[in-house]
Amino acid sequence: MKNRSAFTLVECIAALGLFALISVVLGQTCFNCLNAVHSLKKDAYNDALFDYLRTKVLAEDDLSVLQTGLDVYGPDGKTLTIIGDAAATRIVDLFRLDVRCDEAGYSDVFYLVRPSWYDKLTQESVQRDEILDDRKDEVEDARRRSAWQ
């Protein structure tokens, strides 16, 4: 028999393990570099301010207060005015709320469940009962179609 030279199973497994270890170390190094670059671009003051404004908007249940302007005190003591405008969606009790605060350069969009807002909407007369009736009709139509198939 001829003496063949080849890698043994142990040598192959050791090579794969070494490759995996080097890959993990290089991947973690790249991740740390990208994370450092990302943190340099972040503005901690604006992030904290925007989180504070979001909290104030989500805590307000009265739509008319948001439409006329919600006054809050910023971290520097200045008064900031948050203005919001809501629109009903095709889902019952779900509203799209567009808010902005010009003094802070903040704008955001929320989807909120607020059943009490139907009577306070000014742009269109959307009634909760109309949406519920439409959904009931859609469900009945679907039942009729599935019964005939």
Rounded to an integer, the average pLDDT of 119-141 is 71
pTM: 0.58
Q: In terms of domains, do 17 and 51 share one?
A: no
Q: What confidence category does residue 12 fall into, taking pLDDT thresholds of 50, 70 and 90?
A: very high
Q: What is the pLDDT of residue 147?
A: 67
- Residue-wise pLDDT tens digits, 81-119: 999 988 888 777 788 889 998 888 888 998 988 877 776
- Residue 84 belongs to some domain of the structure: yes
Task: Please count the structural domains in the chain.
Answer: 2
- Residue-wise pLDDT tens digits, 49-89: 888 888 998 888 888 888 889 999 888 888 899 999 888 88
Q: What confidence category does residue 123 fall into, taking pLDDT thresholds of 50, 70 and 90?
A: very low
> Is residue 25 predicted with pLDDT exceeding 90?
yes
Per-position DSSP letters for the chain, written without gaps between them: --------HHHHHHHHHHHHHHHHHHHHHHHHHHHHHHHHH--HHHHHHHHHHHHHHHH---HHHHHH-EEEE-TTS-EEEEEEEEEE-SSTTEEEEEEEETTTTEEEEEEEE-GGGGGG--SS---HHHHHHHHHHHHHHHHHHHHH-
- Residue 1 belongs to some domain of the structure: no
- Residue 34 belongs to some domain of the structure: yes
Winning range, highest mean pLDDT, from 2-6, 10-14, 34-38: 10-14
Q: In terms of domains, do 88 and 99 share one?
A: yes
For the chain, what is the mean pLDDT?
A: 83
Q: Which domain holds residue 102?
A: 44-148
